[in-house]
Amino acid sequence: MCYSAQITAHYKKFVRQHGAIMGLKEFTELLLADSKKKGKGRMPKAMEEWFRDADSPQERDIWSLIQAQRQVRELELQQEMFKQAKRLADAERSLQTKSTKKAQDDQRIARSKVEKLRGDLADLRRHETQARDFRFFPGNYAPLLVAENDQLVVYPMRYQCRLPGWTETIERKYPGTYNARRDSLAKSWSLLFGHQHGLLIVDTFYENVQGADGKNQVLQFTPRTGEPMLVPCLWNRSVDPRGEEPDLLSFAAITDEPEPEVAATGHDRTIINLKPEHVQAWLHPDPDQLDEQYRILDDRQHPYYEWQEAA
């Protein structure tokens, strides 16, 4: 399974080269809904930064929403910082008169939280992007390239697919739907495979692997070629039957048997990496020609994936 990944820093360049447009309405709806949920479905900071140098009035409105969210978040962090700083000061005063386990625990926990909050505030305020700003996890939003009405569009989509006919309650029973196994496409994913295909462009991906000591390790895999990975995905648009919530756009990345170097680390799956010449055919599937879609998935790129333990 693909535990997490980093969208490529060249995403907007790729989008321009393919003549795609941004789904600005969907970005706006996501940010408005995200404000109500207090960042529950957050998108990577790098995606937000796309709108800093906005060109159109709608893009400038999106950037204003992002700034407003960041101001709210900064206030929340400052309030928590004040709370933890007071807790730390109280604990240190207490320790001057009497050493107790509670005071020691309060001192340790508060000091750790203050340090983390300082880092969170610094991350929120900085303008220059860093590698971690491009990373997303299951439940987060990432940019997916899809074809609708003969137009390529980039939508912000949740990395965990809600299948057609599912409700939020059903979805909770199947938390692993951020990946779709190639050998299950004609079964569990039959309502999407051959119908709603998308493309995710990433530079690197991460997997959970059991180390020699039996403990979990997070490994980072990156193509030795340095080229972005073109990851085939399936996606869905879930409509609220009551009309009270915006559409939920969600997707899953397709995985298959691991590449040899990935298998050697102890992991049993790898996301598929399409060849560039198959992108248009993948994004415009014919549901009556599934054999052609399987051929595209099988005729994939096989770069050597160098790995390292994630920081």
Per-residue pLDDT tens for 240-288?
888 778 889 999 999 999 999 999 998 889 999 999 999 999 999 999 9
CB atoms within 10 A of CB 170: 11
Average model confidence (pLDDT) for the chain? 92
Give residue 304's pLDDT band: very low, low, confident or very high (50, 70, 90): very high
- Give the burial string for 251-270 (b: 16+ CB within 10 Å, else e): bbbbbeebbeebeebebebb
Tell me, what's the pLDDT at 219? 93
The CB-based long-range contact list for 238-245 (8 Å cut-off, 24+ gap) reads: 238/162, 238/164, 238/166, 245/33
Beta bridge partners of 152: 147
Instruction: Tell me the C-alpha distance between 178 and 147, whole Å.
Output: 20
Give residue 35's pLDDT band: very low, low, confident or very high (50, 70, 90): low
Instruction: Tell me the C-alpha distance between 245 and 266, whole Å.
Output: 42
Tens-digit pLDDT profile for residues 73-131? 999 999 999 999 999 999 999 999 999 999 999 999 999 999 999 999 999 999 999 98
